[in-house]
Amino acid sequence: MTRFAAPIAEQIWDMKYRFKEAGGQPIDLTVEDSWRRIAQDLAKVEAKPELWEDKFYEALEDFKFLPAGRITAGAGTARSVTLFNCFVMGTVPDSMAGIFDMLKEAALTMQQGGGIGYDFSTIRPKGADVMGVAADASGPLSFMDVWDAMCRTIMSAGSRRGAMMATMRCDHPDIEQFITAKGDPARLRMFNMSVLVTDDFMEAVKANGSWELKFGGKVYHTVEARDLWNKIMQNTYDHAEPGVIFIDRINQANNLSYCETIAATNPCGEQPLPPYGACLLGSINLARMVSDPFGDAAALNEEALADLVATAVRMMDNVVDASNFPLEAQAREAQAKRRIGLGVTGLADALLMVGQKYGTEEAARQTEHWLKAIARAAYLASVDLAKEKGAFPLMDKDAYVNGGLVQHMDDDVKAAISEHGIRNALLTSIAPTGTISLYAGNVSSGIEPVFAYAYTRKVLQKDGSRTEEEVVDYAVQLWRDKFGDTALPDYFVNAQTLEPAAHVRMQAAAQKWIDSSISKTINCPEDIDFDAFKDVYMQAWDTGCKGCTTYRPNDVTGSVLTVSEAAENAPGEDPADHVSDSGEVIYMSEPLERPQSLEGATYKLKWPDSEHAIYLTVNDVVINGHRRPFEVFINSKNMEHYAWTLALTRMISAVFRRGGDVSFVVEELKAVFDPRGGAWMQGKYIPSILAAIGGVIERHLISIDFIEGEGMGLKTDPKAEAMAVGEAPRGKACPSCGQFDMRMVEGCMTCASCGHSKCG
């Protein structure tokens, strides 16, 4: 018997979380071994480790408590990685030396697997005087380009790449350039970007007042607040960025407002953090907490929930002591405040199981009730830990009890904190849970609605063939198991059918009992008009949200995963004949056969310090008058290169012959970082020989007019893309597995097939 509720769950465990030797031989033979490894490691700091190991194992068992991926993959492995997910780096000094010191710290943090956030508001605007060098400042955007280039060369622990959040205050003189930066598709691709919006600015927007852009006490420009707001909204409408963070609200609601000021968040926005702030994440799986799902007595077991929360808080508090930290300043900050981010996943599934329709007022009230129960249990558990192990070092009882979320807690909770202190300064957060939700049996992600009741996933087999499997939402599968193929009740709703206002309602309901913030995407229809789109953000502001992230599928952002039935071929038709008239982007149902002759080019690559050059031949196929890459040959006289160049030849050629958006191959190769060091070639630093190969292939794709330019994507309208017969147009291919299953979930583009997430 397997503990996994779906094949995709076991595949995610094997790819992401299973402990293996360097050569790939599994050490965790079963998922129970993984649970035992984590439980044993996090119990080591306890006075009675055997007792707590069993208690921790029980919490992990059957996916009831889901530590974040870094904990699940790293705990008990003795690997030099951080178990923390979220970091905000130190305040960026307004000096060249200080800026590059910060760049080094960012690289060290991402090397260990942490996602980072930075506030670039502290760098003087473009054109400002630079004292002592008779020059003008280049501005924060130019330094963000440097950070972006650095991030491309750093691979995080495991298969995750570094992710970054950049913030800028709404009164910085360069804010308009910041807002429009993502209009260039080749720029700042490693960043998520958000504007720090103040209360004064929102009042000026509502009053149609003027707004000063200033730095260091000097006013550089005066603009109309509503014009600046409309510019933020227009770019978000077109490009899904920048996001909006209500920074004054965050600081006012912070339990630690008496000892810290927040100006940045982690990459997905759920953790507003001070300089060098760090936080770890974990989620209660609400879909596993409902008794008698879909029955007359269906209810969430709140007694079991409180017990699970208490165990989870203890486990997460132990992570603070068990984890490595990339920087000593991060370790000191974590120890001083012992922040944790306990959240939930499976909320939408749990609501379905008790017969409630996501997005309604009733569901919002139920959500608020459940999350208050979690917050109450978490705070009381942390008080018990303070009795046993001591409060967090920067505890000021009077200031703490009378501020932040704590002031709204029940009187008995506040009294307990006043008497005994509390172990963890902040305890709750709603983080992205896309991958761990798949691992837990495809439960609905975080507090998001069910994305799709079911979809078909292509799975690559060991022999190179692909099979199809149905991936079914956890609650829908429970319904099928109980009632067969009967029609789903009308309270089953999904992300494709919900109004944006329903999303905002649920986010606001959840925020009331979350002391940090929430990672959530408010899905908007493609045809939503601009004024209605702006209203979504005003609703988020008016209802008490700490930020807002939307996604509107369009030609720029790409469409989300489309769930539809494939049409049958008409008699006599060949699927391979169905290609776009433009011929630019093709996704074949079967790989193309190789023609007798192909056009191509051969390139010489001489890696410094290497005795022999590498020769790359890229051949193209011509379809409807357009050239697209078909195969690659990589040759070298250096026998040390033989195995990997042959493997690379076969893999890249196989990807090219599948068709579709294959430009991700370039991006993946160019991002490979060699720990032994890269090389300078033609005035540019290349992080590895594989990155150099990626650059050669990129130049070829530019030369045949397949991609727009260096660092850019396909030279095509995404709508021109043609799939296997009957499939609807899709967005961009996943850069990890190549499947067209990318979707915006919890503020981050995530692949439904392999769990790859842009945000790490």
Q: Is 367 in contact with 447 (CB distance < 8 Å)?
A: yes
Burial class (CB in 10 A: 0-12, 13-18, 19+), 404: buried
Cis peptide before 242 (omega within 30 of 0): yes
CA–CA gap between residue 242 and residue 748 (Å, rounded): 13
Answer yes or no: 584 catalytic.
no
Residue length, the chain?
760
Neighbours of 463 (CB within 10 A): 5
Whether 153 and 125 have beta carbons less than 8 Å apart is answered as: no
Q: Residue 378's Cα: distance from chain center in Å?
A: 25
For 469, list phi and psi in degrees, rounded to 5. -135, 150
Give the residue from 98, 196, 194, 86 showing the smallest Cα distance to 143.
Answer: 98
Alpha-carbon separation of residue 304 from 66, 301, 311, 348, 477 (angstroms): 16, 6, 11, 19, 23
d(CA 67, CA 153): 28
Catalytic residue among 53, 105, 270, 448: 270
Q: Match 């200031």 to its residue by tokens.
A: 399
DSSP 308: H
Q: Which amino acid is at 351?
A: L
Q: Which of the residues 235, 251, 266, 285 is marked catalytic?
A: 266
How far apart CA 132 and CA 135 sit, in angstroms, is 8
Q: Let me know: does 553 contact 524? Beta carbons within 8 Å.
A: no
Q: What is the CA radius of gyration of the chain?
A: 26
Active site residue 499: no
Phi, psi at 429, each rounded to 5° = -165, 145
Task: State the DSSP code for 519.
Answer: -
Residue 161 φ/ψ, nearest 5 degrees: -100, 155
Annotated catalytic, 638? no
The Cα 294–Cα 724 span in angstroms is 38
| Active-site residue, from 86, 151, 170, 268 | 268
Active-site amino acid positions:
266, 268, 270
